[in-house]
A and B are shown apart, each in its own frame.
Chain A
Amino acid sequence: MAEELSGGDLLIRSLQEEGVEYIFGYPGGAALHIYDAIFRQQKIEHILVRHEQAATHMADGYARSTGRAGVVLVTSGPGATNAITGIATAYMDSAPMVVISGQVPSDLIGTDAFQETDMVGVSRPVVKHSFIVKTAKEIPSIVRKAFHIASTGRPGPVVIDIPKDTTDPNVKFQFDFPEEVKLRSYRPIFEGEDSAVDRAFKALICSTRPVLYVGGGAITSGCSELLTEFASALKIPVAATLMGLGAFPCSHRQSLGMLGMHGTYEANMAMHEADLIISLGARFDDRVTNDPKKFCPDATIVHVDIDEASVSKIIEADIAVMADSSWFMKKIETKRQEYLSQEQPGDREKREELSELWWSKIEAWREQHGLDHNRKPEIGKPISPQLAIQALYRATEGKAFVTSDVGQHQMFAAQYYKFDEPRQWINSGGLGTMGFGLPAAMGVQMGHPERTVVCVTGEGSFMMNMQELSTCLQYGLPIKIINLNNQALGMVKQWQDMQYGGRHSQSTYSDSLPDFKTLVEAFGHIGIKIEGAENLESGLKEAFSEPLRNKLVFVDIWVDPDEHVYPMAVKGGAMNEMVLGKAQEEASQ
């Protein structure tokens, strides 16, 4: 006979059955029965954060870097509402997460009880799904369903709201973990229609200027290897969204880097002039398309997405493939093999000739305005943030997991760190949550104890969740924090420079910034301050040196406060309309 367990124990046992390693959480009244159940077991480690928002970002970083759902536990009321930003962040970027929130006892729900918030209601617009537990008995099956929903189809956060009475230690039920999930109304698609793949391949073979446009969905689906093989074989250029970086190796010759608002010149030009765009797990976000009416005028659009609501949402697809990207890649690779076996003499030469033509155009764009254009360190000048990221790339041999916050530093990291592996680059692309970087890095480090984990941040973003430095000490997380300190909310300031006549409304701190070196030392970590271009390389070398390997190191790099992120899309323009540098910007004003 199965053992009898209370609701709290049923919950923890169910999480164990799901293979959960870590719970990121923070206790409080409504969750205390659950916390007691955690105390009485050893299998799952609970990570005590300093703010519930950070718990959600940690779970998110863990999830995005491992592919397994991250787990969060918070109490009712303020604990639950503090988690909302992180839930919304995971929702926008389709990260699998299960958030367990304590709730006031069932008989108090609806009475404005102490620390009562309608968590299911408050979180509803930013979750994939949510449950409220009615009786302890249903906890195992709800947990099973929650993980299933969070991790399949287009992943996302799922909330389980647990009223305190349902975890009462004195009310026990048999533990019975369901093997199968029964959800008749949830049928995520995986396989699409063969005929659509057929049409996509034909369109590809007939095209002379194809581009692969890959997004976060390509990473989630795990199709990188197939994608790389396929694109290499047919010499198709690959542009990635902010979320898709790493799906195709950025250091590959065929990588055009990032596209969109701050995308590379060649990626945006190639998109605009393409006659065929194959989109893999990307959603034609407004930061990519700019004005949808002017988007890629000559291109046939093949849109592959596991979420049918994403297909043709912004740009009407000519060929819609509602399927997982890896399914699509497998199918289209088979088509390619078939095609090769039937190729007529001369076909191949002709195809390669056309490809050469397309590539010569792309190379010309690269030549005209590559990212490295005109950037050399100048002694005595402030450090250029772009060079700082390039130096970081060298110091980590391109192998680090990199998380970032939101702002100019995020764009510099996306542009200049060449991500060769999927899941290596983790940032808040959809919601753009400042404060994401540090806790996300902590989650990544928990999931990958042996790897170098770097958080590229800005002083503004860092101060939104810096309390987690304390958590880092508690759990010995040797994260390397690269603070591109421009003494300003740089991205805001950039927009004010470009669109508000340089009026810096509330984007600077008038000399009130803390001395970060001393600050992190107070938290028990190592601080390094780097000023002056000549000290960049040596400072970073020290930060990543062997003696500091097991330490959290905060590198405060004082960068040029006047730097802007370029290229920058022209507001309301087409993808080929970009401001490429300060000279052009000033001339246009």
Chain B
Amino acid sequence: MTRQLISILLENEPGALSRVVGLFAQRNYNIETLCVAPTEDPTLSRITLTTVADGVRLKQIVRQVNKLIEVYSVKALGGANCLERELVIISISNASSKQLDSVIDFAQSLNASSLVKSEELGILQFVGSGEEVDHYINCMNAKLVELSPDLKIAELVRSGVAAIELN
């Protein structure tokens, strides 16, 4: 069972998204991440979602999604044929100003950027592939523990993966 990326173009109409999401629930497919917004053509929306499935199941999922009347096209995107990006925002509270400085320094060394820094709160943003985001979160957790056993990520918000085809 591997993580699979599926990219769906569908009519930008009320209810269309719920049919896609409903189909996943109904057919016992899982959704790990989901990202939806209109495209360059405002009458179409793009859903990028990730799921866990083997090849046979992935084929079924794609075909079932394709059957939905409002789905314009659907494609499984894999490895080299696409570029994927996910955004994660984390906040850190209850850190001293000095601790926060070193957290931010460390995050920036990982190519994250600092969005907010006040006395009691730091907010950081990171963009990368899903895997890179996972890695970044692990590193941040480790760094916080290293600074103080009481420090941890207060809140973590991930956008879900968006992906674009390369060819």
Contact = CB atoms under 8 A, between A and B. Distances in A.
Contact of B69 (A121, A129, A132, A308): A129
Interface string B33-49: 00000000000000000
Interface string A306-320: 011101110010000
15 contacts: A121-B18, A124-B18, A124-B22, A129-B69, A132-B15, A184-B72, A185-B10, A185-B69, A185-B70, A307-B67, A309-B63, A309-B66, A309-B67, A311-B63, A316-B56
Given A125-B22, A308-B66, 9 more contacts: A128-B69, A129-B69, A129-B70, A183-B69, A185-B11, A185-B72, A307-B67, A311-B63, A313-B60
B167 interface: no
A120 interface: yes
A183 to B, nearest CB: 7
Interface string B59-89: 1100110110111100000000000000000
B26 interface: yes
Contacts of A313: 60
Interface range, A side: 20 to 34
A149 interface: yes
A450 to B, nearest CB: 37
A509 interface: no
Interface of B: 10-11, 15, 18-19, 22, 26, 56, 59-60, 63-64, 66-67, 69-72
B19 to A, nearest CB: 7
Contacts of B26: 125
Contacts of B63: 308-309, 311
B15 A309 contact: no
B24 to A, nearest CB: 11
Contacts of A307: 67
B64 A309 contact: yes
B42 to A, nearest CB: 15
Contacts of B10: 185
A150 B64 CA distance: 17
A151 to B, nearest CB: 13
Interface of chain B, helix or strand or loop or mixed?
Answer: helix
A382 to B, nearest CB: 44
A185 B71 CA distance: 6
Contacts of A120: 15
A230 B19 CA distance: 41
Nearest to A154: B67
Contacts of A125: 22, 26
Contacts of B69: 128-129, 149, 183, 185-186
A312 B70 CA distance: 24
Nearest to A131: B15
Interface in A29-44: none
Contacts of A183: 69
A309 B60 contact: yes
A129 B10 CA distance: 14
A163 to B, nearest CB: 14
Nearest to A307: B67
A446 to B, nearest CB: 29
B149 to A, nearest CB: 48
Interface string A160-187: 0000000000000000000000011110
A13 B69 CA distance: 25
A176 to B, nearest CB: 21
Nearest to A128: B69
Greatest chain A CB density within 10 A among B63, B64, B66, B71 is at B63
B55 to A, nearest CB: 11
Nearest to A149: B69
A69 to B, nearest CB: 16
Contacts of B18: 121, 124
